Amino acid sequence: MRALNKDTIVAILLLAFCGLLAWSSLHIRLPGYGTLKPSTWPQIMVAVLTLFSAIYFVQSLGYARDASSKEDGRKPGVSGFLEYFRNPIICFAIYFVFLATLPWTGALIGGIALVFALLTVLGGWGARDLVRHAIYAVVSMGFMWTLFTFGLRVILPEGEIFSIR
Amino acid sequence: MEHILAALAEIATLHTLLLMSAGAIAGLLAGAIPGFTIAMAVVLALPFTFSMTASQGIATMIGVYVGGLSGGLMSGILIGIPGTPSSVATTFDGFPMARQGRPGLALGLGVWSSFFGGTIAAVCLIAIAPQLARIGLEFQPWDYFALVFFALTITASLAGKSLIKGLISGALGLLIATVGEEDINGVSRFDFGSDYLQEGFAFLPVLIGLFAFSQLMSDIRDPAEARRSLAQTGDIDIRIEHLKAARIVLSKWKNLVRSSLIGIFTGILPAAGSSISNILAYDQAKKASATPEKFGTGFEDGIIAPEAANNATAGGSLITMMALGIPGDIVTAVMLGALLIHDVVPSPSFITEAPVLAYSIFIAFFFANFLVLFFQSIALRLFVLVTKVKMYVLAGIILAYCGIGVFALHNIVNDMWTLLIFGVVGYAMRNLGFPLAPMILGVVLGPIAERWLARAVAISTDMSNFITHPWSVFFLTLSLFSMGFGMYQRDRGKKRWTLYYTPLMVLALTPAMFMMEGFIRPGIGIVMLIGGLYALYQAHNKAAGFQPAAGGTPR
């Protein structure tokens, strides 16, 4: 049996997603008022997406298997994927940690830590790099925090640890 | 006149002009940096506008927009890499001229062409948009829905290489907009029992996630590229030759006016945009020139045409946005979203209902051209400084700013999670070849379409209203052709059927014209009928001896 290409897998995922939404749209509460039901528009959209996804699926069956990875010089397999997308994956993970810890660290401390971590991961771990990144992080986040707090009067998240917004 | 004066009083204040100046400088820089798009710059400017009035906020974003269009010429001329797709054609002659030791003149020609192109477009915007908007007063809910439906079909034109992926992207955008509590009945949809989903996705975090976050991830994907400076400019000490350049541009007024009109017309067409207009204007300038062989060698006309056209396109896009309430391109889609944030619902009656705000936008666009001209020299120095910064430093800081910026919208952390989620979604879509512009269009226009459909159905459940109201028929017919526009673009010159596309569209629109009241519009219908039949006859004759361009087969 021929292995599935990337587009076919995406099309299958989209069709599964459409199935989930179609099921969910059947459970939308119908109020006794209004002429256009709250479920009508989403159901039309789900039908449209399902149709497009089905066309995409059929089209994808004719595509060659993952030519893109050869084109962009990526190694095959999971390790090749992780190596190729290393930077974005780490950045997303750091951002996730930043948001998860925001209630404790707050916007200022958390933001400084975020910028420092991102710069260090992307730019290097050398002693001079660390100092430079720390300066960039403090100055940039300090400026943003001041601008939003005092200039735009935005109450940024206050951290429990230091109680600094 | 009183509205214009009231709008002038809003815009011509020191505070607003300062905000617009900041926007213009930011736009010039963002436009100049390869890898940064104008849409991204406008999106990132959005959080700053929350605390402003609607007119100040939109004026600031117009500053960014016009600045971005002009900024692209700096990197295009100095380093040969266009800062934005709207400056691609500028590099054809701008870069050779700079290499011949005339960078100051090349920049001057670009700057002044942009200025004149933008100013011509601003005059057209002020003259055309209010006239066009009068038609909007005749619209009923069926017509409004048909109009928004037409705007949604533009997704086919924005699809790029893969039509089906563009359509899926647009449909996903429409579905994203349905998540959470709906406006009409307050019923929650697709919440799966989660409080977070019940709130729905706010427009801004979705937009910043899809456009800015995912773009930054693409910029830092390659570790070596991420550690490189933004551009290798070296130490540049150039003085823009303003006086000489302005004289040359004015002496080539035919090219200037023609290119500006091409830009305006392209901007009015939904989904066309400045990335097309600059190349189109360059091509027309070359065809009209007595010395076409000089193009590509550092020829003055080769800089004037694309730069006048790309700035004029902004005026054209704003005409569509202001008069019909539909986005002409992705930047105006963002601006429509910004208007929604300020509780202004864009629609064809917008100019009539909010004349001061509408005229503020016109005047802001007019002023923005002057500000950009004024700040170009300052931005050039800043550009040289910014290009020495490494990409990862800029990306890291902007990522943090994205988070703080979206938090400022509603002061809730959930919006920051939305940013992350759509950052991942946007990045995945980019890598899988799905265009993001149709998705944005879906997110912006989905709720508007549903609202008008609900109003139409509330008045009458008789669906024949959609084919008995002339404007509804007009837009639905246009939608049919718009859906096929992507294929038309792809096959134009390669397949025989494309010869019939325009004549058939004109003929198909005539019934709607005949259904309209009075004498003028049915009269236009008769002209369209005769013109369409003649064009069809000509297309038939051409089809007989049709020779497809390279890569095409006649069909």
Q: What is the pLDDT of residue A72?
A: 66
Q: How confident is the model at residue B405 (pLDDT cuts 50, 70, 90)?
A: confident
Q: What is the model's pLDDT at position B233?
A: 53
What is the distance between the alpha carbons of residues B47 and A136, in angstroms, rounded to a whole number?
22
Q: For residue B534, give both structure tokens.
A: 């003649």
pLDDT at B326 over 80: no
- Residues 398 to 417 of B: which have CB under 8 A from any A CB? 399-401, 403-404, 407-408, 411, 413, 416-417
Per-residue confidence (pLDDT) for residue B96, from 0 to 100: 86
Residue A83 reports pLDDT greater than 60: yes
Cα–Cα dist B449/B151, whole Å: 10
Q: What is the model's pLDDT at position A165?
A: 52
B165 has a chain A CB within 8 A of its CB: yes
- Identify residue A97 by its one-letter amino acid code: V
Find out whether B83 and B310 touch, Cβ atoms under 8 Å.
Answer: no
Q: Which of residues 208-267 of B touch A (CB under 8 A)?
A: 217, 220-223, 226-227
Distance CA B278, CA B310 (A): 5
Per-residue pLDDT reduced to its tens digit, B171-182: 999 999 999 988
- Identify all chain A residues contacting B188, using CB atoms and an 8 Å cutoff: 28-29
Both ends of chain B: CA-CA distance in Å? 55
* B531 closest CA partner among B496, B507, B495, B555: B507
Chain B hits for A39, Cβ within 8 Å: 189
Confidence of residue B103 (pLDDT cuts 50, 70, 90): confident
pLDDT at B555 over 60: no
pLDDT over 60 (residue B215):
yes
Residue type, B495: K
Length of chain A: 165
Q: Which chain B residues are closer than 8 Å to A145 by Cβ?
A: 404
Confidence of residue A112 (pLDDT cuts 50, 70, 90): very high
Closest CA to A107 of B199, B207, B402: B402
**Higher pLDDT among residues B539 and B128, named by residue:** B539
| Residue, of A114 and B341, whose pLDDT is higher | A114
How far apart, in whole angstroms, are the C-alpha atoms of residue B363 and residue B370?
A: 11
Task: Give, for B189, the enclosing helix (H) or strand (E).
Answer: strand B188-189
pLDDT, greater one: B531 or B447 = B531
What 3-state class would DSSP assign to B411? coil
Q: Is the pLDDT of residue A138 over 90?
A: yes
Confidence of residue B155 (pLDDT cuts 50, 70, 90): low
**How close B200 gets to chain A, by Cα (Å)?**
14
* Residue whose entry in the numeric block shows the structure tokens 């959209």: A45
Q: A45 to chain B, minimum CA–CA distance in Å?
A: 6
Looking at residue A102, its pLDDT comes to 93
Report pLDDT for A136. 95
Lowest mean pLDDT among A35-49, B62-76, B220-234: B220-234
Return the pLDDT at B189. Answer: 92
Cα dihedral: B524, B525, B529, B534 (round 10): 20
Instruction: Write the residue in B189, B395, B416 that is nearest to A38 by C-beta.
Output: B189
Is the Cβ pair A53, B168 closer than 8 Å? Answer: yes
How high is the pLDDT of residue A19? Answer: 96
Give me the DSSP letters along B391-402.
HHHHHHHHHHHH
Residue in B63, B59, B56, B50 with CA at minimum distance from that of residue B342:
B50
Mutate to test the interface with A, among B152, B165, B168 (most CBs of A within 10 A): B168
Looking at B278-282, B342-346, B453-457, which range is the least confident one? B342-346
Token pair in block for residue B225: 């590229």
Residue B21 to residues B15, B18, B125, B368, Cα–Cα distance (Å): 10, 5, 21, 8
Predicted pLDDT at B488? 82
Q: What is the pLDDT of residue A57?
A: 94
Whether A48 sits inside 8 A of B220 (CB atoms) is no
Whether the predicted pLDDT of A86 surpasses 90: yes
Instruction: Name the residue among B187, B396, B407 with its Cβ closest to that of A38.
Output: B187
Q: Is B487 on the interface with A (CB under 8 A)?
A: no
pLDDT band at B160; cut points 50, 70, 90:
low
Residue to substitute from B49, B53, B56, B164, interface A, most A β-carbons within 10 A? B164
Judged by CB atoms closer than 8 Å, whether chains meet at B184 and A141 is answered as: no
Q: Are the beta carbons of A24 and B396 separated by less than 8 Å?
A: no
Q: Which of B45-49, B233-237, B330-334 has the lowest mean pLDDT?
A: B233-237
pLDDT(B347) > 80: no
DSSP letter at B180 equals E
Q: Yes or no: say if A165 and A109 are a contact pair by the CB < 8 Å rule.
A: no
Closest CA to B380 of B20, B31, B23: B31
8 Å CB contact between B125 and B332: no
Report which of B124, B506, B88 is spatially closest to residue B273, judged by C-alpha positions: B88
Q: pLDDT, tens digit, for every residue of A55-77?
A: 999 998 887 655 555 556 677 77
What is the phi/psi pair of residue B248, to 5°?
-65, -45
Would you call A152 and B50 a contact, using CB atoms and an 8 Å cutoff?
Answer: yes
Q: Give the pLDDT band of residue B328 (cuts 50, 70, 90).
A: low
Each domain of chain A, given as residue ranges in start order, spans 6-73, 85-151
- Above pLDDT 70, what percent of chain B? 94
Nearest CA in chain A to B186: A38
User: Residue B393: what pLDDT?
Assistant: 92
In chain A, % of residues over pLDDT 90: 58
Name the token pair of B196.
Answer: 């977070």
pLDDT tier at A41 (50, 70, 90 boundaries)? very high
B436-455 mean pLDDT: 86
Element holding B349 (H helix, E strand): none
Cα distance between residue B77 and residue B98, in whole Å: 6
Token pair for residue B543?
A: 């089809």
> B158, B114, B453, B132: which is closest to B332 by C-alpha?
B158
